[in-house]
Amino acid sequence: MTRLDRLKAMAAGRAAGRAGQPVTACPYRPGRTPLENALTLIWVREWTRATAGAAQAVSFED
Q: 38 falls in which pLDDT band (50, 70, 90)?
A: very high
- pTM (two decimals): 0.81
Is residue 62 domain-resident? no
Is residue 8 domain-resident? yes
Is residue 57 domain-resident? no
Is residue 40 domain-resident? yes
Residue range(s) defining the domain that contains residue 15? 3-51
Distance CA 1, CA 57 (A): 28
Distance CA 56, CA 38 (A): 22
Is residue 36 domain-resident? yes
1-18 tens-digit pLDDT = 999 999 999 999 999 999
Is residue 58 domain-resident? no
14-30 tens-digit pLDDT = 999 999 999 999 999 98
Tally of domains within the chain: 1
* Cα-based angle 57, 58, 61 (whole degrees, multiple of 5): 130
